[in-house]
C-alpha cells in the first residue's frame, strides 16, 4: 500500500484523486474512482444546475464512499448557489480553482470541508496559501481541459519547495510509473483526468470515448477557440487543452476573428448538442495516447496503484 499524508487524511487506499472534469465526472465516475481506493471528484461547470450537484453527490454517498466536488471560482462569483449546493452535499473535499479561492474557503471550512486549490504559477500558489487552502494541486500545461502554460514537473518542484502543505501533481500522470515519478518527486498524490476519459462511468458519449482511445499524444491543442465561440466568460489566462479537430484547425490562432461570429457560435453549440466531434470540444491531456482501452475507473485506479507500487520498488533498488 502507498501511504502519503493525503491517504492518511482522507483514509484512502491509494493517493489517486480523480480530476473534477465538468461534463465528464459525475457521481458514477466519482463513485468508481473511490471504490478503487482513491478519491473521486464530481466536476461542476459554469452552467451546471445546482440541483444536479446534489443529485450526483447521492451516488457515491449511497455507496458509502468518500468523494469530492470541483468548483470554479470565477463561476461561483456569478452563481453562488453552486457553493451552497456543494456544501449541502457534504463531500470530504472541495476544489476551488481558476480564480481567487479566498471568498469560498471560509464557508467550506466552517462546514468541515477541506479545500484544494489548483495552481498554475507561483503567484497562484501565494494566493492559495493566503486564502487558507489545505491541499495544493500543481497543474501543468500537459493536463486536459482548462490549464496554464507551465510544464508539470518544473511547476511541481517549485511548488514543493515553496510550501509544506500537501501537493497533488496534475498533468501527464497516466501510468503507474508516472504516479510513482511524482510521488518520488515529493507529491502526496496524483490528480488524474485523461486516464478516466475512456471509462464507461464517465458522462461523456461513447463516441467521445472512442475518439479519446484513437487519439495520439501529439493531437492536442491548447486553445481558447471553443470558449470564445460559445461566449463563455473563461478568463483568458486559462485556455483549454482539447483534441485537435476541424474547428481547431480552422480557428486556433484566429481567436480574435471568432468574437461576435454568430455562425461559429451556432456551429459549436449545435455540434455539442448533436455530438459532432469535429466541431465540439473533447478536452484531453497530452497523455491521451496512453489511453487505449475502455475499462472501469475502479480498474484504472487499481492498475495505476499496482504499477506504481512496482515502479517504486524498482526505484528503491537504484540506491546502494
| Residues 163-185: tens digit of each pLDDT | 999 999 999 999 999 999 999 99
Q: How many CA atoms lie within 13 A of 82 on its CB side?
A: 23
Name the helix (H) or strand (E) containing 135. strand 135-139
Q: What would the pLDDT profile of 97-152 be if each residue is shown by its tens digit?
A: 999 999 999 999 999 999 999 999 999 999 999 999 999 999 999 999 999 999 99
Domains annotated on the chain, with CATH: 5-203+293-314 (3.20.20.70), 206-274 (no CATH)
Query: Please, what is the average pLDDT of the chain?
Result: 97
Place of cell 479566498: 102
Q: What would the pLDDT profile of 193-247 be if each residue is shown by its tens digit?
A: 999 999 999 999 999 999 999 999 999 999 999 999 999 999 999 999 999 999 9
Contact 66, 11 (CB under 8 A): yes
Contact 31, 54 (CB under 8 A): no
- Model pLDDT, residue 41: 98
What is the Cα 211 distance to its own chain's centre? 19
Amino acid at each position: 500500500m502507498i501511504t502519503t499524508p493525503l491517504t492518511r487524511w482522507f483514509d484512502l487506499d491509494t493517493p489517486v484523486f480523480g480530476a473534477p472534469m465538468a461534463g465528464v465526472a459525475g457521481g458514477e465516475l466519482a463513485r468508481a474512482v473511490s471504490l478503487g481506493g482513491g478519491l473521486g471528484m464530481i466536476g461542476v461547470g459554469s452552467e451546471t444546475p445546482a440541483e444536479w450537484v446534489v443529485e450526483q453527490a447521492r451516488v457515491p454517498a449511497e455507496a458509502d464512499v468518500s468523494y469530492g466536488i470541483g468548483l470554479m471560482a470565477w463561476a461561483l462569483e456569478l452563481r453562488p448557489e453552486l457553493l451552497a449546493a456543494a456544501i449541502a452535499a457534504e463531500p470530504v473535499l472541495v476544489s476551488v480553482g481558476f480564480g481567487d479561492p479566498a471568498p469560498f474557503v471560509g464557508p467550506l471550512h466552517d462546514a468541515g470541508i477541506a479545500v484544494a486549490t489548483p495552481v498554475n504559477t507561483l503567484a497562484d500558489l501565494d494566493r492559495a496559501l493566503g486564502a487558507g487552502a489545505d491541499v495544493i494541486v500543481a497543474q501543468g500545461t500537459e493536463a486536459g481541459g482548462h490549464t496554464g502554460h507551465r510544464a508539470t514537473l518544473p511547476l511541481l518542484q517549485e511548488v514543493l519547495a515553496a510550501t509544506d502543505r500537501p501537493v497533488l501533481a496534475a498533468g501527464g500522470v497516466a501510468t503507474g510509473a508516472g504516479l510513482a515519478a511524482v510521488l518520488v518527486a515529493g507529491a502526496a498524490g496524483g490528480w488524474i483526468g485523461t486516464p478516466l476519459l475512456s471509462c464507461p462511468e464517465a458522462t461523456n458519449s461513447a463516441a467521445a470515448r472512442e475518439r479519446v482511445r484513437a487519439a495520439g499524444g501529439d493531437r492536442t491543442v491548447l486553445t481558447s477557440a471553443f470558449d470564445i465561440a460559445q461566449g463563455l466568460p473563461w478568463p483568458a489566462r486559462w485556455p483549454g487543452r482539447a483534441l485537435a479537430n476541424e474547428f481547431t484547425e480552422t480557428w486556433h490562432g484566429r481567436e480574435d476573428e471568432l468574437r461576435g461570429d454568430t455562425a461559429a457560435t451556432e456551429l459549436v453549440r449545435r455540434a455539442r448538442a448533436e455530438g459532432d466531434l469535429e466541431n465540439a470540444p473533447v478536452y484531453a491531456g497530452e497523455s491521451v495516447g496512453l489511453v487505449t482501452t475502455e475499462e472501469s475507473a475502479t480498474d484504472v485506479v487499481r492498475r495505476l496503484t499496482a504499477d506504481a507500487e512496482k515502479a517504486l520498488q524498482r526505484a528503491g533498488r537504484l540506491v546502494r
